[in-house]
A = this chain, B = another copy of it.
């Protein structure tokens, strides 16, 4: 199974604290490194988790509140200083490009590597990246300023053919391709070996959705339907629902309601208000609605299976 690993670099919100950094995650898939949001301090969080920033190929910025991107310009600059030459792909709100450019100009820094910026369009779901194994999409969330969620979806794998079948029938290349895609095998006598008898079915495609910052929004449910792991913000406990509504954030209970409606495999909570040092009450409240819930924290690593 292709490695598909989530590293939580920051699970807090708003203001950095000594016990929790604001939003940042590293998603690794098959040797590709995607950085999702990049709060101040993300560079040091990467160092703490012994991840080389040089390996990051793509950076996704959900929106332009500082707790999601104030570490980006520093990371871009550091990669330049330590000698990066490979292109870096950045996806984010269009204004982000102006913010980066202005700061590079002020420093009279001309980057040693290509910075490829892709502005996100408001209000639509769009594919940002795709290869033979995985697809990455951005979709709109509901927040005080334009904000995007991100969905990584694995493509269905091929059927793997049993070795003894190959040894016995020596099928032609085009026959192998057909069987891998799901075809049955017709013998010379006209009888048929059904596909399931001669192959191992691929595992179910896995997926990961990143939904922060967002107010409670059922609009996203069809987009993230059946997602393997859903990261959903849980800024407040439910007794502060009015605060959540007022600030376009969610409670942990609301995150669990979304996970249940979307039939998610696992719900991962995060983006906690700094008032919650102990996450247990917030987690328990969400688990009462959606049992398979976990509370992310800085340094947390999750294999997506």
Contact = CB atoms under 8 A, between A and B. Distances in A.
A119 to B, nearest CB: 13
Given A40-B40, A43-B16, A106-B95, A66 B74 contact: yes
Nearest to A22: B74
A47 B66 contact: no
Interface in A75-96: 77-78, 81-82, 93, 95-96
A106 B99 contact: yes
A10 to B, nearest CB: 12
Contacts of A66: 73-74, 77, 103, 107
Contacts of A41: 40-41, 44
Interface in A42-86: 43-44, 47-48, 64-66, 70-71, 73-74, 77-78, 81-82
A14 interface: yes
A66 B65 CA distance: 19
Nearest to A102: B99
Interface string A227-244: 000000000000000000
Interface in A226-283: none
Contacts of A14: 78, 81
Interface residues of A, number: 34
Nearest to A144: B108
Given A48-B18, A102-B98, A107 B74 contact: no
Number of copies: 2
Contacts of A77: 66, 70
A145 interface: yes
B93 A106 contact: yes
A15 interface: yes
A43 B66 CA distance: 13
A191 interface: no
A17 interface: yes
A76 to B, nearest CB: 9
A106 B103 CA distance: 15
Contacts of A44: 16-18, 41
6 contacts: A15-B43, A16-B44, A18-B47, A64-B107, A70-B73, A99-B99
What are the 8 tightest A-B residue pairs by CB atom distance, in nearest-first order?
A: A64-B106, A40-B74, A70-B74, A95-B106, A15-B78, A66-B77, A108-B145, A65-B107
Given A40-B71, A66-B73, A70-B70, 17 more contacts: A15-B43, A15-B81, A16-B74, A16-B78, A17-B47, A40-B70, A64-B103, A64-B107, A65-B107, A66-B77, A70-B77, A96-B106, A99-B102, A99-B106, A102-B102, A106-B145, A107-B145
